[in-house]
Structure 1
Amino acid sequence: MTVLLVALGAAAGAPLRYVTDRFIQSRVDAVFPWGTLGVNVVGSFVVGVVTAASVEGRLNEDMVALIAVGFCGALTTYSTFSYETLRLFEDGARWYAFGNVVVSILAGVAAASAGWALAS
């Protein structure tokens, strides 16, 4: 059952990531990967909310599998973040690459913390 919940969540998260990324990037004329950053920060926030709710007994393991593991696992993307950072570096946009790493980490942890705080 858990595997099916993860798959169901992922089936919703992956297309949403793609559409959101394309939507953001089509409206921002920038080298910086704002779309990927956006989905990763939102996903981190949701994982913070879900984790806090789970720890406090307000969400069961099935919902954690569906939302945090499946949906957020497919919504967020470490591989695209890594690829885009490497592409920026190889294209000579080293400050953008460095900024992408720093901002992604700080914003992701801050979003997860905010989600946790909100749900606690």
Structure 2
Amino acid sequence: MQWLFVATGGALGAMLRFFITAHLYPVMGNRFPLGTLVVNVLGCFLVALLYIVIIEKAMLSPHWRHLLITGFLGALTTFSTFSLDALTLWQNGAPAMAILYVLANVVLCLAAVTASWYLVNFVLS
């Protein structure tokens, strides 16, 4: 049943991501990825809200975590999970690890995108 919750939430999150980015694209075009920024900020706002309501306060059944956090927000943006993980490290008394985690994600992900860009262009040229 958990798989169904994740899949349903994922479908809804992916559709919302597409809707937001498609409607914000005309605002900035290729000059700035406004849609991506909006979904990342929205996802980060929602992940904290849902985490408190579902996990910390247990105001909703744990099944909602699979639907809303893992599925919906996972498809909307993984930046929300990244941000929550960094905050959790910090709040658990590991600020150096939190900073390392943030830097490693940013640097390694930019490096991965760059490597892939050049590799694919090399192979396809």
Normalising by the smaller structure, the TM-score range is 0.5 to 0.7
Give 1:16's aligned residue. 16
Matched residue SS, 1:28: helix
Give 1:43's aligned residue. 43
Q: Give the TM-score normalised by the residue count of structure 1.
A: 0.61
Q: Quick check: 1:62 aligned with 2:67?
A: no
Give 1:103's aligned residue. none
Verify the 8 A CA contact 1:36 1:77 in the aligned structure 2.
no
Runs of 4+ in 1 over 3 A off after TM superposition: none
Give 1:7's aligned residue. 7
Higher relative contact order (CA 8 A, sep 6+): 1
Matched residue SS, 2:31: coil
Q: CA deviation at 1:15?
A: 1.4
1:65 & 1:2 partners in 2: Cα distance?
6
2:75 & 2:29 partners in 1: Cα distance?
26
1:2 & 1:32 partners in 2: Cα distance?
37
Larger Rg: 2
1:21 & 1:77 partners in 2: Cα distance?
15
2:34 & 2:15 partners in 1: Cα distance?
17
Q: CA deviation at 1:30?
A: 5.4
Q: Give the TM-score normalised by the residue count of structure 2.
A: 0.59
1:48 & 1:13 partners in 2: Cα distance?
16
Q: CA deviation at 1:4?
A: 0.6
Q: CA deviation at 1:7?
A: 0.3
Q: CA deviation at 1:19?
A: 1.7
